[in-house]
Amino acid sequence: MTSELASRIRDALRVVIDPELGHNIVDLGFVYDISVVGGAVRITMTATTPGCPATRFLQEGVTSCVAEVPGVGSVHVEMTFDPPWTPERIEPAVRDSLGFATVN
């Protein structure tokens, strides 16, 4: 049940769009971890940089989006920049559409 709820939460998070990059935070690799204990959900995520002006917007979007998933009782969003986000975290198809070159 816990892994099923985490999977539904991950799917729901695809509606949260980064306003600068124009793609969802899951495909951009911003979501580092989804932890579920009972109905309490903890999302560990990042943004492109520590000074990203969209950080609060993303946190609020995640909180409201996850709160709507059946089975969720509470939501805590923890922002981290360790490890720092890099374009390598982006899903390959999205990375290509954004013009990030693959470095070999």
Identify the pLDDT of residue 1: 57
Q: Which pair of tokens denotes residue 15?
A: 């509606």
% of the chain exceeding 70 in pLDDT = 95
Asked whether the bond before 87 is cis by omega within 30 degrees of 0, the reply is no
Write the pLDDT tens digit of every residue in 7-21: 999 999 999 999 999
Question: CA 103, CA 65: separation in Å to the nearest integer?
Answer: 34
Architecture of the domain whose range is 2-98: 2-Layer Sandwich (3.30)
Question: How many other C-beta atoms lie within 10 A of the C-beta of residue 3?
Answer: 9
Q: Which pair of tokens denotes residue 2?
A: 């816990």
pLDDT at residue 39 greater than cutoff 70: yes
Where do the domains of the chain lie?
2-98
pTM value? 0.90
Identify the pLDDT of residue 101: 63
